[in-house]
Amino acid sequence: MTVLVRPKALGDHKVRTFQMLIDGKWVDSADGRTIERVSPGHGVVVSRYQAAASVDAERAIAAARRAFDDGPWPRMTASERSLILLKAADLIAARADELAFLDAIESGKPISQAKGELGGAADIWRYAAALARDLHGESYNTLGDGTLGVVLREAIGVVSIITPWNFPFLIVSQKLPFALAAGCTTVVKPSELTSASTLVLGEILEAAGVPAGVVNIITGTGPEVGAPMTTHPDVDMISFTGSTGVGRLTMANAAQTLKKVSLELGGKNPQIVFPDANIDEFIDAAVFGAYFNAGECCNAGSRLIVHRDIAEEVTARIAALSAKVKVGDPLDPETQVGAIITPQHLEKIAGYVSAASKDGAAVAHGGEALDLGMGQFMAPTILSSVRPDMAVAREEVFGPVLSVLTFETTDEAIRIANSIDYGLSAGVWSRDFDTCLTIGRRVRAGTVWMNTFMDGASELPFGGYRQSGLGRELGRHAVEDYTETKTLNMHIGARTGWWMPR
């Protein structure tokens, strides 16, 4: 049985209405249309945003272009930009409860988790502020007496930032502060399902001293707003996080003008478990990795690749712990798994489970949608007897569904892990260092955790192989991703040229 935390009515909660931030002004959409967001955990309207059209996106892009070409931001010293980013981090921390509440009611994530994400986001802004002062070029005085070479790092220009609904504030914080640290100007489009916390971030950045036009925030759908953001000739770079399918479209749009593209896309991440692992610690990590953020996470550990000798024990113990996971009201501090983002997405998740069952997989726990009186919820689900060729083992379900596969040899485990189109992250569990290192070297993924899962830090790069994306976020080189490299080749003294005497 699943432990249920039934949602309580929001009571006197007032629908919060937001405008967009364009060129330092809070404005409505050009045609006055709006979007209403229904809370996935409570089934009532909680937010209202502007529904931007292409003309609004063009206004925002023009503002960012002017701010980059003629404004003060790219011309400030690194220390000046750093101080503003540090102030923004402090203001994020000061408004963390408000921001976490907005993310919880709009995305359905548990409030305790949302508060943790806000702490991580503030840390990222502080880290980006430090990197702003560390951005530098190179010099070469070894090219002969008559030559001096200097390599500059310059801000790339106007950056379109498009973020998803599953981590509304955290993911914009993995992009925007690094673009700002480099001296870029930006147009930001959060998901139309979870725009509120990003719009509050606009207020925070204004208060921190970011000049008008440097950060423009527009709200609307991908076809109407995302399209011009990815095709407009005045945009120099696109940073996108979302599905692999939309990532392909973004890349195709960017190719029209050969923009630089950074993509953080889907994942189908394996945890490979050997018989000598610390099984107690692994069981906890497996449940966390599968159900964190209701499995609506590109890093979710949705594939367990378990040695055949321990597969039955592992499945039974994960099922037993899954039965203790608390599912329900996102605003209850005890909740561990919140609501599913939309009714349509819940139907998609249930469809994967149904198809896998018909194809021979066994439901070891859960497997059904939950009726809690309001909102939409899915029981934590474990599928055993899963084959590598099943859709549930190859495609990103993006829900609280864990597939258990088995192996007998290390080579077989690696082959199963690498047999899909994704390569975002992976985990390996063994007390043997050689085993862990072998898996770490041979599994094609951007991050490989060893005897842990889904740990992270601002200092560590994040991104994937293959169809999990292009480029890396976070880490000490994150600011460099938003720059161009320029070579200054300087000649000293008289030049001996082609037509000059030697």
- Residue-wise pLDDT for 126-139, tens only, equals 999 999 999 999 99
One-letter identity of residue 361: A
Which residue would you say has higher pLDDT here, 239 or 145? Answer: 239
Over residues 384-413, mean pLDDT: 98
pLDDT at position 282: 98
Over residues 483-491, mean pLDDT: 96
pLDDT above 90: residue 497: no
pLDDT at position 502: 55
Q: Catalytic amino acids?
A: 264
pLDDT at position 489: 96
Bridge-based pairing of strands 425-429 and 270-273 is parallel
- Residue-wise pLDDT for 38-78, tens only, equals 999 999 999 999 999 999 999 999 999 999 999 999 999 99
pLDDT above 80: residue 500: no
Contact 192, 199 (CB under 8 A): no
Contact 198, 443 (CB under 8 A): no
pLDDT band at residue 474, thresholds of 50, 70 and 90?
very high
Tokens of 279: 């099984």
Query: pTM score, two decimals?
Result: 0.97
pLDDT at position 153: 97
| Bridge partners of residue 155, in order along the sequence | 483
- Residue-wise pLDDT for 178-216, tens only, equals 999 999 999 999 999 999 999 999 999 999 999 999 999
Tokens of 167: 């981590």
SS3 content of the chain, % helix, strand, coil (to 5): 40, 25, 40
pLDDT band at residue 495, thresholds of 50, 70 and 90?
confident
pLDDT at position 125: 98
Burial 301-325 (b: 16+ CB within 10 A, else e): bbbbbbbeebbeebbebbbebbeeb
302 φ, ψ (degrees, to nearest 5) = -85, -5
329 φ, ψ (degrees, to nearest 5) = -50, 115
**Structural domains of the chain in order of their starting residue, each with its CATH number:** 12-265+468-486 (3.40.605.10), 270-450 (3.40.309.10)
